[in-house]
Amino acid sequence: MAKGSDGSRLANLNEWVAEVAALTRPDRIHWCDGSDAENEALVAQMLGDGTLVRLNEQTHPNSFLHRSDPDDVARVEHLTFVCTDDQNDAGPNNHWMAPDEAHAKMDALFDGCMAGRTMYVIPYCMGPIDSPLSRCGVEITDSPYVVANMRIMTRMGAPALARIEKEGTFVKGLHSTGELDPDRRFIMHFPEELAIKSFGSGYGGNALLGKKCHALRIASHQARSEGWLAEHMLILGIENPQGETHYIAAAFPSACGKTNLAMLIPPEGYRNAGWKVWTVGDDICWMRPGKDGRLYAINPEAGFFGVAPGTSKKSNPNALACLQRDAIFTNVGVTADNQPWWEGLDNGQQPAIDWRGEPYDPAKRPAAHPNSRFTVSAKACPSYSPEAENPAGVPISAIVFGGRRASLVPLVFEARDWTHGVLVGASMGSETTAAATGAVGVMRRDPMAMKPFCGYNFADYFAHWLSFDTPGAKLPKVFHVNWFRKGDDGKFLWPGFGDNLRVLEWMIGRVNGTAGAVETPIGALPSADDLNLDGIELGDEALCKLFGYERDGWSAEFQAIGDYLAGYGPRMPQALVDEQRRIAGSLA
């Protein structure tokens, strides 16, 4: 039981914990304090029962491997529900279930599910403990693996409990791995109750309830009612040679290079000139208008839960540097001497055991699952910004949308104004990746990269975005990027990785009014001369497709965007419909 200064502000928490214990019937209850001693005891317990495997202490001290059930390796969007009183409030972008029905279904699953297990009570804070932008939650779980990950990913334990006592409010999250049966697996969100119930999965986004469930699905609902934005965005700072730092928030669907961009290392010429990139966050961004009219952002997370495959010295040396100690790896392979290994890791090692614990056979399966993960403290990143702990957040100069588009979409363009920028975000599309179950490589609309994560009707969400354009607001410029444009030979036309800074530099120039652009119906595009391309060679096809636009293709795209917006019915903001029609007309 939690004990406060007078106990009254924690009565709500204690009553809820008692109710859950009566339902789930655990053998014991453990209130997590987040201490080193607690963590060491949990790790020892998991090493003893095989939940964790200790990795090579010489190469990766205090690092561990977890192998999840082979049927429990990614988000399960088809089993994820938003439960509002009115189905229209959840919108066509969410699977819906009536709250009473959802509670009854989940409580039947939770009935007695923790018998023989320990029930862990995890108080946590999303964001710096002393930030007014932060919000608290409590997750109840029977998984020590979840506790260990939540300790890395959130501000967990005694300080969070103290803030909950002070505020008296928190998001309630109840989780059990159950039997890991895919047919008895559901993730239910009750935004009107600030509550989450997740059963039958031990996978990150389904089980670490502070992450996607709280920080996006529930927080997006909170943000709408409280006048802020909870977004699936990285936050990075770009410091120029004059010592000025601009902060950029960028939304990409999972596994589309968010972590790589958040930890970008400038090309050699830029480094020599004095450019620096600072990592504030790699996945989630909470933004609120400041007194000066600008948007200020915090990263509500304290760690990285990143995709391992493809992470290498070439793609993301900062991420690789994070992972040399004090990390938890999930579903990666291991070498003969017990070092973590995944596809794309360019360290000269070879895998011996695959992610399922079997001898590696490339004809059978990859060594690491395509959605295998690492969990590590953000402070381990060489480019970590101390501003990530700033209670006031960082001012955002630009918002960037992007996804995987092999054709049509150029390297970068700038929205005409805020309304156009909201349309750019609302209509963005991407080819699907392994982060979610289902087919890979299918183009789908993923507004603001929030399709799996928005806790309410997208039409209302777009209206909420539009509402920030008020007199006196100094809103960020909005851009769209596509690092993944391909040529006729099927190869990428843009080098990507560190060279993406060349595009970000142009954006900052546009913010400052110093960079040129060509006005087109789809937005302002740079010419090749507007970007610093020193040190890279682009052929004629690349220059044409990266810096041009195809009128006929875009005309068809905007017809499809119109059909997409119409699918949300009468709640769709008229301003967005008018903007789509304006651009479609200019392309006709």
- Element of type H or E holding 238: strand 233-239
**Across the chain, what does the average pLDDT equal?**
96
Q: Is 324 left (phi over 0), alpha (psi -120 to 50) or beta?
A: alpha
Pairwise CA distance, residues 588 & 586, whole Å: 6
pLDDT single digits (tens) 201-232: 999 999 999 999 999 999 999 999 999 999 99
Task: Please answer whether residues 279 and 272 qualify as being in contact, where contact means their C-beta atoms are separated by less than 8 angstroms.
Answer: no
Question: Residue 9 class from Cβ within 10 Å (0-12 exposed, 13-18 middle, 19+ buried)?
Answer: middle
567-584 average pLDDT score: 97
What tens digit of pLDDT does each residue of 40-81 get?
Answer: 999 999 999 999 999 999 999 999 999 999 999 988 889 999
Tell me 384's DSSP state: B
Binding-site residue numbers are 75, 203-205, 212, 232, 254-260, 283, 371-373, 404, 497-500
State residue 9's pLDDT score.
77
Distance of CA 187 to the CA centre of its chain: 17
Query: What pLDDT score was predicted for residue 134?
Result: 98
Per-residue model confidence (pLDDT) at position 433: 63
Residues 6+ apart with CB under 8 A from 499: 267, 536
User: Are the C-beta atoms of residues 428 and 401 closer than 8 Å to each other?
Assistant: yes
Contacts of 84 (CB under 8 A, 6+ apart): 90, 96, 99, 190, 191, 192, 456
CB 451 within 8 A of CB 445: yes
Checking if the pLDDT of 575 tops 90, the result is: yes
pLDDT band per the 50, 70, 90 thresholds, residue 414: very high
Strand bridging mode 328-330 / 373-377: antiparallel
pLDDT tens for 123-140 read 999 999 999 999 999 999
Closest to 122 (Cα-Cα) out of 40, 199, 31: 31
Other Cβ atoms closer than 10 A to 437: 16
Where do the H-state alpha helices sit in 241-303? Answer: 258-262, 268-273
480: left (phi over 0), alpha (psi -120 to 50) or beta: beta
- Tokens of residue 481, six digits: 């990027």
Q: Provide the residue type at 255 as one letter.
A: A
Q: Is residue 128 within 8 Å of 163, Cβ to Cβ?
A: no
CA distance 290 to 62: 41
pLDDT at residue 4, rounded to an integer: 63
From residue 363, how far is each of 343, 358, 431, 473, 495 by CA, in Å?
A: 14, 13, 26, 57, 30
pLDDT confidence of residue 541: 98
Q: At what angle do helices 99-110 and 11-24 cross, to 10 degrees?
A: 60
For tokens 């007199």, name the residue.
471
Mark the binding-site residues for substrate, compressed into ranges. 75, 203-205, 254, 371-373
* Burial (CB count <10 Å: 0-12, 13-18, 19+), residue 529: exposed
Instruction: Choose among 270, 319, 282, 305: nearest CA to 498.
Output: 270
Count of CB atoms situated within 10 Å of the CB of 513: 6
Residues 453-468 have a mean pLDDT of 98
What are phi and psi for residue 248, nearest 5 degrees?
Answer: -125, 135
What residues form the annotated binding site for GTP? 255-260, 373, 404, 497-500
Kindly state the average pLDDT of the residues 399-410: 95
Please give the distance of CA 487 from its chain centroid, rounded to a whole number: 29
Helix (H) or strand (E) holding 44: helix 36-49
Sign of torsion over alpha carbons 551, 552, 555, 561: negative
Convert the pLDDT of each residue in 278-335 to its tens digit. Answer: 999 999 999 999 999 999 999 999 999 999 999 999 889 999 999 999 999 999 999 9
Beta 429-431 vs 285-289: how paired, if at all?
A: unpaired
Q: Classify strands 333-335 and 64-66 as parallel, antiparallel or unpaired.
A: unpaired
End-to-end CA distance of the chain: 66
Cβ count within 10 A of residue 346:
11
Domains, the chain, with CATH or none: 8-52+72-227 (3.40.449.10), 231-302+385-587 (3.90.228.20), 304-371 (2.170.8.10)
- 53, 195, 357, 369 from 68: Cα distances, Å: 12, 25, 10, 10
Residue 431's pLDDT band, with cuts at 50, 70 and 90, is: confident
- pLDDT value of position 257: 84
Q: Is the pLDDT of residue 14 over 70?
A: yes
Q: What percent of the chain has pLDDT over 90?
A: 93
What is the pLDDT at residue 436? 60
pLDDT at position 434 is: 58
Is residue 458 within 8 Å of 568, Cβ to Cβ? yes
Instruction: From 260, 267, 278, 249, select the one nearest 379 (Cα to Cα).
Output: 278
SS3 59: coil
Point out the residues that are catalytic: 256
- Where do we find the tokens 């309304």? 419
- With bands split at pLDDT 50, 70 and 90, how would you rate the model's confidence at 443? confident
Q: pLDDT category, 432, cuts 50, 70, 90?
A: confident
**Start-end of H helices in 199-315:** 204-207, 219-226, 258-262, 268-273
Give the annotated binding-site residues for Mn(2+): 212, 232, 283
465 vs 9, higher pLDDT: 465
**Prediction pTM value:** 0.96
Beta carbons within 8 Å of 335's beta carbon, 6+ residues apart? 341, 349, 350, 351, 352
Distances (CA, A) of 146 to 49, 102, 261, 471: 15, 23, 27, 45
Predicted local confidence at residue 75, as pLDDT: 85
Residue 6: C-alpha distances to residues 3, 14, 138, 236, 569 (Å): 8, 13, 20, 42, 51
pLDDT in tens, 70-121: 999 988 889 999 999 999 999 999 999 999 999 999 999 999 999 999 999 9
Residue 272 near residue 324 (C-beta atoms within 8 A): no
Mean pLDDT of 457-470: 98
Collect all residues with Cβ–Cβ distance below 8 Å to 60 and sequence separation of at least 6.
323, 324, 325, 327, 339, 340
Strands laid side by side in the 328-330 sheet: 53-54, 64-66, 328-330, 373-377, 303-307
